[in-house]
Amino acid sequence: MNARFRILLPIASLAVLLAATFYMQPRAMSYFGLNLLFNLAVPIALATVAQMMIIMVNDIDLSVGTFVSFVACVTATYLNDAPLIGALILLAAIAGYAAIGALIELRQLPAIVVTLGMSFVWGGLAILILPSPGGTAPTWIRTIMTVKPPLVPMAIVASVLIAVIAHLLIMRTSSGALLRAVGGNARAVARSGWSLVRLKAAAYGLAGVFGAASGICLVGLTTSADANIALRYTLLSIAGVILGGGEFTGGRISPVGAVIGALTLALAGSFLSFMRLSPDWQIGAQGAILILVLSVRLLFARSNRKKGAAQ
Partner 1 sequence: MTIWKAPWFWSWAAGALAFAATLLLTDGRNGGDLLSAALTFASFSAIVGIGQMFVITLGPGNVDLSIPASMTLAGTLSLKFMGGDAALIVPGLMVALGVGFGAGVFNYLLIRLLRIPPIIATLSASFIFQSIAIWSNRGLRIKPPQSLSDFTTGATLGVPNLALVALVLAVIAWVILDRSIFGRWLSAFGQNERAARLSGVPIEGVRALTYIGCATLAGLTGFLLASFSGGAALNMGTEYLLVSIAVVVIGGSSIAGGNSNVPGIWGGALFMFLIVSMLNSYGLGAGVRLIVTGGIIIGIVAAASKKGARA
What separation in angstroms does the CA of 188 have from each of 119, 176, 182, 251, 293? 31, 16, 8, 13, 33
Question: Smallest distance, Å, CB 31 to partner 1?
Answer: 31
Question: Smallest distance, Å, CB 295 to partner 1?
Answer: 6
Dihedral Cα 191, 195, 197, 200, nearest 10 deg: -90
Question: Smallest distance, Å, CB 27 to partner 1?
Answer: 27
> How many Å apart are CA 19 and CA 17, to the nearest integer?
5
Quick one: 89 or 169, whose CB is closer to partner 1?
89
Quick one: 24 or 60, whose CB is closer to partner 1?
60
Quick one: 83 or 287, whose CB is closer to partner 1?
287
DSSP state of 246: -
Question: Smallest distance, Å, CB 255 to partner 1?
Answer: 19
Quick one: 117 or 149, whose CB is closer to partner 1?
117
Q: Which residues pair with 212 in a beta bridge?
A: none
The contact set with partner 1 (CB under 8 A) reads 60, 103, 107-110, 112-114, 116-121, 123-128, 131, 235, 238-239, 242, 248, 278, 280-288, 290-291, 294-295, 298
Q: Which residues pair with 134 in a beta bridge?
A: 225
Quick one: 29 or 301, whose CB is closer to partner 1?
301
| CB atoms closer than 10 angstroms to residue 73 | 30
Quick one: 186 or 238, whose CB is closer to partner 1?
238
Q: How far separated are the first and last CA of the chain, in Å rounded?
A: 16
> How many Å apart are CA 85 and CA 138, to the nearest integer?
14
Question: Smallest distance, Å, CB 122 to partner 1?
Answer: 8
Nearest by Cα to 293 from 60, 3, 5, 11:
11
Question: Smallest distance, Å, CB 43 to partner 1?
Answer: 19
